[in-house]
Chains A and B, each alone.
Chain A
Amino acid sequence: GENVEQHPSTLSVQEGDSAVIKCTYSDSASNYFPWYKQELGKGPQLIIDIRSNVGEKKDQRIAVTLNKTAKHFSLHITETQPEDSAVYFCAASSMNTGFQKLVFGTGTRLLVSP
């Protein structure tokens, strides 16, 4: 089955710096890659997603890149702010098995210091 690895497990940056979180997946059939942000005491919330027919997607300060050949995808956050501090999860799924059946990475705890 699918396996998703995520690095780093923790990431500390200064406000205004950029943050990059990387994930790799194993199943070449995976074609949907969302990123979720989880704040303390809350459920995960989708921040951006990308499908396998696209190499890059941007939404304001957040961008995601996908390299299908290498089975890598990454989250880029620019001009980080203290409110970006949270745990971020990458995930993968396949339209064949249903996009609701997400395989999550182990999470990255991002701390943005003022």
Chain B
Amino acid sequence: KAGVTQTPRYLIKTRGQQVTLSCSPISGHRSVSWYQQTPGQGLQFLFEYFSETQRNKGNFPGRFSGRQFSNSRSEMNVSTLELGDSALYLCASSPDRGGSGELFFGEGSRLTVL
């Protein structure tokens, strides 16, 4: 079974630009969560989507948004990029059945904002 796939793996943007990151969950997984990982703030929850609906949200500004498609694939978008948005963005999927807690993480998209 293929794991969680994130694209692109690396990207460089400049301040003020916007970026879209993509995540393909494990086949059959309906929940997709996004996390931001930085050396200073660690791993922080951005949002979670289930059946094309945002089910949960972290404490990030409105510049951070996401969506989920009918095939469970998800995208997140960051607009008006700031230097502090430089981070590893991790996507995780879960089957969301029976209360199972395991999140399956992808390898992440490393964003550098110059």
Contact = CB atoms under 8 A, between A and B. Distances in A.
Interface residues of B, number: 25
A103 B59 CA distance: 12
B66 interface: no
Interface string B41-63: 01111001000000110110000
B99 A95 contact: yes
Q: Tell me whether chain B's interface is mostly helix, strand or loop, or mixed.
A: strand
Nearest to A44: B105
A69 interface: no
A98 B43 contact: no
B42 A102 contact: no
B105 A43 contact: yes
Contacts of A89: 42-43
B107 A43 contact: yes
A77 to B, nearest CB: 19
Contact of A43 (B42, B99, B106): B106
A49 B94 CA distance: 15
Given A101-B45, A103-B45, A41 B103 contact: no
A102 B56 contact: no
Contacts of B99: 95, 99
The 9 nearest A-B residue pairs measured at CB: A43-B105, A104-B43, A100-B33, A100-B48, A99-B101, A46-B102, A101-B56, A98-B56, A44-B105
